[in-house]
Amino acid sequence: MHPEHIALHNKEFEPYLPAAQLASAIQALAARLNQDYAGQTPLFVAVLNGSFMFAADLMKSLSIDCEISFIKVASYQGTSSTGKVQEVLGLSQEINGRHVVILEDIVDTGHTMRMLLDTLGAKQPASLEVATLFLKPECLQHELSLRYVGLSIPNDFIVGYGLDYDGLGRNYPDVYKAV
């Protein structure tokens, strides 16, 4: 059962993207990754907390040999990006010479992704790419080469499928947008 509207804190949200559409976008990303990394063993670096559902579903759809690790960064407070990125929990694997794919739930301003690309790129991986479930192109404030984008969306505030509003809403299988 999928609610028609949800209320989180002081905001109302309405249905936006159903789980089936998300699954289809993830299958398409997995097919491209399976093809592009055939014969290699990439390391997927999932950015917590938001990417946990995306990362789990993507991993189940990959047929290539691969590893996954998790990092945690924070740049959000409430409904807007603070513009300041703090790395909370770092990467434990050695990535020098490895093919690395950052898994992110959403790229909007690009502040977090720019910091991650710079930080991880300094560790000299063989390659460094980004796979994001959502991209808000009109919000980007950085030049980013995003090779794997599930869905481009307008600048709506969304929750569900791992994305939250001050901690709430991550558990919904569908995505909802603020009304």
Tell me how crowded residue 61 is: count the other CB atoms within 10 A of its CB.
15
Query: In this structure, are residues 169 and 105 in contact, taking their beta carbons and an 8 Å threshold?
Result: no
The span from the CA of 141 to the CA of 162, in Å, is: 23
Tokens representing 23 are: 């699954």
**One of 108, 118, 156, 174 is an active-site residue; which one?**
108
Does residue 108 have an active-site annotation? yes
Q: Cis before residue 155, ω within 30 degrees of 0?
A: no
CB neighbours of 60 closer than 8 A, spacing ≥ 6?
A: none
Return phi, psi of residue 19, to 5°.
-55, -35
Task: Just list the catalytic residues.
Answer: 108
